[in-house]
Amino acid sequence: MTRYLSGIQASGIPHIGNYFGAIEQHVTASKELPPGDSAFFFIADYHALTTISDRETLRRFVRTIAATYLACGLDVKKAVFFRQSDVPEVTELTWLLATCTGMGLLERAHSYKDKVAKGLSPNVGLFTYPILMAADILIYDSDVVPVGKDQQQHVEMTQDMAGYFNQRFGQGKELLKYPRWVFSRTPTVPGVDGEKMSKSYGNTIDMFLEGNELKKAVNRIVTDSREPAEPKEPEGIPSLTILELFLNDQERQEWRERVRKGGEGAPGYGHMKKEIMARMDARFGPARAAYKRYLEDPVAEREMEEILVEGGKRARAVAREVLARCYDAVGITNRARP
Ligand code: ADP
Ligand code: TRP
């Protein structure tokens, strides 16, 4: 019996890095869940508060992420789909874990160091972000965490925290379950500047762009001045790497071969970008209408809210049991607690 769990921050509009690194595998896992296994996917709104300061913006991003998952076909009968903040117990476990976590562990977090290096002035919440993420994972007894490569270190830190907690309070038992991560086929998707695509770096191609907006985003992918006919190594060409996300193995071989050979008829950057637009339309076009409906039609919006509330209740029931186990182990056994 395996439990899958993952979260996505409500900190922006989902982009194709989020899709190919995370969302696609979450949706597939929900549809193909073997009997006995379970899957929990949530919208990390507590985490988003480390960087978002406007209530309407936060609310809009939560709805946007929810609409994206539902439009992409997440099976909410099989998977539990919810908002992080509908399970406030996660902040209680965060505290218990914080008392077992050394400053040094957090100081080594790449994601924190990158954000600070990029000029963000950090709050304590951003620094302790990995503890909240560990609580997210551990409070549901999760086994497998499907994420993009940028989250690997956070899952490793979660393993460390589970270890410290078990050692300190477990009396030889595994109080908190050890999770492991799993990556998608494309664990790191580059952005239009060739760096990792990220909402916080302004280098994204958003999933549901269409028409002129899509064209503008795709045209921003960096190129160099080499002619199409010049033979090139396919690695390190951002337009080709992004196009490859949409290709099957055979198509990928063919495109790479043509780029490598060069000569007449070899694809230029413009050609690759046109193909990306066509593939984006084919992949995300069918879900656009549902996406818009969840965001604009009050009936669909209510339906979405009900799904999240229902998911929140299912998740909370699990979280309460795990938290009770932890409180008991640390010696907080107050009768007044509900
Ligand atoms: P962002 O960096 O844009 O804020 P999040 O941190 O909310 O994205 O990530 C949500 C999920 O998408 C995570 O599982 C993360 O690993 C994955 N992800 C984000 N960016 C990429 C990328 N460029 N390539 C692959 N996966 C990604
Ligand atoms: N930190 C993750 C991200 O930025 C989001 C997240 C929060 C998460 N809690 C999680 C992912 C628990 C997996 C499991 O993408």
109 backbone φψ class: left, alpha, beta (φ>0; ψ -120 to 50): beta
In this prediction, residue 200 carries a pLDDT of 78
Cα–Cα separations (whole angstroms), residue 328 to 19, 58, 75, 144, 335: 40, 35, 35, 26, 11
Task: Give yes or no for residue 7 CB within 6 A of ligand 2.
Answer: yes
The active-site residue out of 78, 177, 196, 292 is 196
- For residue 107, the SS3 value is helix
pLDDT at 282: 97
Residue 151 in contact with ligand 2 by CB distance below 6 A = yes
Distance, CA 65 to ligand 1 centroid (Å)?
Answer: 13
The arrangement of strands across the sheet holding 79-83 comes to 79-83, 38-44, 3-9, 144-146, 180-182
Q: What tens-digit pLDDT sequence spans the chain (338 residues)?
A: 999 999 999 999 999 999 999 999 999 999 999 999 999 999 999 999 999 999 999 999 999 999 999 999 999 999 999 999 999 999 999 999 999 999 999 999 998 998 899 888 899 999 999 999 999 999 999 999 999 999 999 999 999 999 999 999 999 999 999 999 999 989 899 999 999 999 878 999 999 999 999 999 999 999 999 999 999 999 999 999 999 999 999 999 999 999 999 998 899 999 999 999 999 999 999 999 999 999 999 999 999 999 999 999 999 999 999 999 999 999 999 877 76
For residue 137 and ligand 2, the question of a CB distance below 6 A is answered with yes
Using the structure block, give the residue that is written with the tokens 């008829």.
Answer: 265
| Total-model pTM | 0.95
197 in contact with ligand 1, CB cutoff 6 A: yes
Q: Where are the alpha helices (DSSP H) in 99-181?
A: 103-107, 110-117, 124-127, 129-138, 152-169
- Enumerate the β-bridge partners of residue 82: 42
Instruction: Report CA(275)–ligand 2 centroid distance (Å).
Output: 32
pLDDT of the residue at 338:
67
